[in-house]
């Protein structure tokens, strides 16, 4: 090869050869653009976003900042457009009507299992979630719901409080320990690392069960990390590559599945539950049966538990991280949250509080508003996909005013993916005053935009729909949908509110927070929307602590 190169250089010279090499990618770009301009495609289909490279399409722009990319496309093409994502055609529908089109879409026309199964089954395991027909998954959601009861949540409050307090007292993240006469010294902690640990501790102590909590310090943590390494955007794009991370994912899945199955066998053999495991999810799943009367097989219980671990961990940890970053950025909100705690749970002695009841915790207006506002600006999931299995017409009200076929609705053809991005409507300046500002007080205005959006999300006074896991609010055309909507709506919402509420209130009782760095930038390269480093929060133990 080198000899051949040498001959070519001798023949044409360095400059000419360099030009020839550069001409190849330039010609590809030119041809790709020319092709799109000369053959704009079927006018009955949504417009395709102009891109420079074949196959890669708009993957780089979308991957770097999906929200900015969608907003730019919205300006140019309207609310419905298609972009190329590594060879896939993805049609985006924006705004509340776009959310409704996709999340409220008919299951026979677009579905989640064909969009996600390749990605989730190696991690969760066989025969659950997207690896089964949708009606079976809806039954599995019903089983999960049976474990997420108010009665269980009441028992979780104390458990979570103990875990969080013990973490703040003992973990090296909070090693700067101010005594009352050393108030000047501020420590720092990395919220993402810290909150991720607290999230897994609180989830395992409550939902996952005492056996998982006890193994967290040992092999389970490594298995979880390896499994998690297989839950990245790369895995979404390429389900199987000959890479170490894929091998580790498969090994970790097998080990974890075996671990849960052993635990289930032991529990089944015992036939009764003790006080400290009667409130966890395994206890609930073991009492459930499919409509045809058969028990949930052991491997399915194990795989549902893995699915719940993965579904709840990053979403809650990311939201908790963003919430603390925002509170640290706004110390006046931190002070107001602290006062809310004193007002409701202070017992008259400085720094001493009683444990809240579940109902009391959920009725704290500012705490609730902080969580809602954080989810509005920092929804952990920015893109929700479905695969189109039948040509589907786009409602006329959604078609772009620039459409050349205004009289006919667009058709999204079979084989496309559709994508809903509530994050765009959640910060749309046409809907929300000061849309980009983090302002929890907007949720306390009785008839404000936020209250209206929430009513639409909860379908207050509206119909509830039963997709097979009990009646739920449809909420598909609300501009605020951090937990999705329709048949795939999150069932962990109330648990997440409890977990986040306990996290924020316990930390606020003990620590003052402040941000000594610019507010962190957003990292969209991870599956879940996370802050980029540096993102340290400065803390100081409260005078009374």
Decide: is 495 part of the binding site for ligand HEM (CB under 6 A): yes
Nearer to ligand HEM, 202 or 400 (CB): 202
- Taking the least distance from each CB to ligand HEM, the nearer of 203 and 515 is 203
- Cα–Cα distance, 312 to 316 (Å, whole number): 6
List binders of ligand HEM among 283-342 (CB under 6 A): 308, 311-312, 315-316, 319
Closest separation between CB of residue 249 and ligand HEM, Å?
A: 20
Residues composing the chain = 545
Element (H, E) at 20: helix 2-38
Q: Is 496 an interacting residue with respect to ligand HEM (CB under 6 A)?
A: yes
Taking CA atoms, 290 is separated from 127, 135, 268, 286, in Å, by: 13, 11, 18, 11
SS3 295: strand
**Contact with ligand HEM (CB under 6 A): which of 78, 191, 475, 482?**
482
What are the angstrom distances between the C-alpha of 381 and each of 260, 291, 331, 362, 525? 27, 32, 27, 23, 12
Question: How far apart are the C-alpha atoms of 213 and 369, rounded to whole Å?
Answer: 31
66 makes contact with ligand HEM (CB under 6 A): no
Residues 72, 93: Cα–Cα separation, whole Å: 14
User: Which residue in 229, 484, 501, 520 binds ligand HEM (CB under 6 A)?
Assistant: 484
CA–CA dist 492, 298 (Å, integer): 22
Which residue has the closest beta carbon to ligand HEM? 492
**Ramachandran category for residue 386: left, alpha or beta (phi over 0 → left; psi -120 to 50 → alpha):** beta
SS3 per residue for 303-337: HHHHHHHHHHHHHHHHHHHHHHHHHHHCHHHHHHH
Told to check if 380 binds ligand HEM by CB under 6 A, we report: yes
**Cα–Cα distance between 510 and 540 in angstroms, integer?**
9
When the beta carbons of 491 and 530 are compared against ligand HEM, the nearer one is: 491
CA distance 105 to 111: 9
- In the bound state with ligand HEM, the residue whose beta carbon lies nearer, of 138 and 545, is 138
Query: Which positions from 144 to 173 touch ligand HEM by CB under 6 A, shown as an x/- string?
Result: x-----------------------------
Region binding ligand HEM by CB under 6 A among candidate stretches 28-36, 72-80, 408-416, 486-494: 486-494
Contact with ligand HEM (CB under 6 A): which of 231, 483, 524, 539?
483
Of 96, 98, 230, 492, the one binding ligand HEM by CB under 6 A:
492
Figure out which of the listed residues 49, 490, 515, 545 binds ligand HEM, where binding follows CB under 6 A: 490
Nearest distance from residue 331's CB to ligand HEM, in Å?
Answer: 24
| Interacting span for ligand HEM (CB under 6 A) from 161-169, 230-238, 376-384, 456-464 | 376-384
User: Of 102 and 508, which has the nearer Cβ to ligand HEM?
Assistant: 102
- Tell me how far apart the terminal alpha carbons of the chain are, to the nearest angstrom: 72
> Residue 457 interacts with ligand HEM (CB under 6 A)?
no
Q: How far is the CB of 505 from ligand HEM (least distance, A)?
A: 16
Cβ atoms within 10 A of the Cβ of 358, count? Answer: 20
- Taking the alpha carbons of 432, 434, 435, 438 in that order, is the dihedral positive or negative? negative
Asked if residues 385 and 419 have their Cβ atoms less than 8 Å apart, the reply is yes
Residue 52 CB neighbours (<10 A): 16
| Span of 71-79, 400-408, 481-489, 505-513 interacting with ligand HEM by CB under 6 A | 481-489
Tell me 279's DSSP state. Answer: T
Taking CB under 6 A as the criterion, which residues in 381-420 touch ligand HEM? Answer: 381, 384
Binding mask 190-229 for ligand HEM (x = CB under 6 A): ----------------------------------------
Closer Cβ to ligand HEM, 153 or 246, answer by number? 153
Total residues in contact with ligand HEM, by rule CB under 6 A: 20
Instruction: Kindly list the distances between the CA atom of residue 229 and the CA atoms of 206, 242, 247, 249, 288, in Å, as whole numbers in the listed order.
Output: 24, 14, 10, 7, 32
Considering the complex, what minimum distance in angstroms separates the CB of residue 374 from ligand HEM? 9
Binding region for ligand HEM (CB under 6 A): 112, 144, 308, 311-312, 315-316, 319, 380-381, 384, 482-484, 488, 490-492, 495-496
């Amino acid at each position: 090869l080198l000899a051949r190169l040498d001959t070519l250089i001798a023949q044409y010279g360095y400059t000419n050869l360099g030009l020839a090499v550069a001409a190849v990618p330039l010609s590809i770009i030119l041809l790709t653009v020319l092709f799109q301009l000369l053959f704009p495609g079927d006018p009955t289909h949504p417009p395709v976003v102009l891109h420079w490279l074949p196959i890669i399409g708009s993957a780089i722009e979308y991957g770097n900042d999906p929200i900015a990319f969608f907003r730019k496309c919205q300006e140019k093409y309207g609310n419905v457009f298609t972009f190329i994502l590594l060879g896939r055609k993805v049609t985006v529908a924006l705004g509340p009507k776009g959310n409704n089109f996709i999340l409220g879409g008919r299951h026979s026309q677009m579905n989640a299992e064909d969009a996600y199964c390749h990605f989730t089954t190696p991690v969760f395991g066989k025969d659950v979630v997207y690896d089964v027909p949708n009606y079976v998954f809806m039954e599995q959601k019903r089983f999960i719901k049976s474990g997420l009861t108010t009665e269980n949540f009441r028992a979780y409050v104390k458990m979570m409080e103990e875990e969080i307090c013990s973490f703040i007292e003992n973990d090296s993240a909070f090693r700067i320990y101010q005594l009352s006469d050393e108030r000047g010294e501020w420590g720092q902690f990395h919220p993402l690392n810290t909150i991720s640990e607290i999230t897994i501790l609180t989830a395992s102590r409550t939902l996952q069960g005492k056996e998982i909590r006890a193994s967290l310090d040992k092999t389970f943590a490594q298995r979880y990390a390896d499994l998690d390494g297989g839950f990245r955007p790369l895995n979404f794009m390429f389900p199987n590559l000959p890479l170490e991370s894929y091998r580790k994912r498969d090994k970790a899945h097998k080990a974890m599945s075996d671990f849960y199955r052993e635990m289930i066998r032991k529990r089944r053999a015992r036939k009764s539950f003790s006080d400290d495991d009667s409130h966890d999810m395994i206890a609930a799943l073991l009492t459930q049966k499919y409509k045809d009367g058969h028990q949930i097989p052991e491997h399915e219980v194990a795989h549902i538990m893995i699915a719940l671990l993965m579904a709840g961990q990053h979403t809650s940890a990311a939201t908790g991280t963003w919430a603390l970053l925002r509170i640290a950025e706004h110390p006046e909100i931190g002070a107001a949250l602290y006062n809310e705690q004193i007002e409701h749970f202070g017992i008259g002695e400085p720094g001493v509080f009683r444990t809240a009841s579940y109902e009391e915790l959920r009725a704290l207006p500012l705490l609730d508003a902080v969580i809602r506002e954080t989810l509005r600006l920092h929804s952990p999931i920015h893109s929700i996909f479905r695969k189109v299995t039948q040509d589907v017409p786009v409602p006329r009200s959604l078609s772009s005013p620039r459409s050349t076929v205004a009289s006919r609705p667009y058709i999204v053809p079979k084989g496309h993916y559709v994508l809903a991005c509530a994050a765009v409507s959640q910060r749309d300046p046409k809907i929300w005053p000061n849309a980009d500002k983090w302002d929890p007080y907007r949720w306390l205005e009785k008839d404000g935009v936020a209250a209206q959006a929430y009513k639409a999300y909860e379908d207050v006074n509206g119909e509830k729909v039963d997709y097979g896991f009990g009646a739920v609010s449809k909420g598909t055309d609300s501009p605020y949908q951090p937990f999705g909507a329709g048949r795939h709506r999150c069932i962990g919402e109330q648990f997440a509110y409890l977990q986040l509420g306990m996290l924020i209130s316990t930390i606020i009782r003990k620590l003052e927070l402040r941000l000594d760095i610019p507010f962190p930038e957003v990292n969209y390269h991870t599956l879940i929307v996370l802050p980029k480093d540096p993102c340290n929060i400065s803390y100081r133990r409260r005078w009374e602590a």
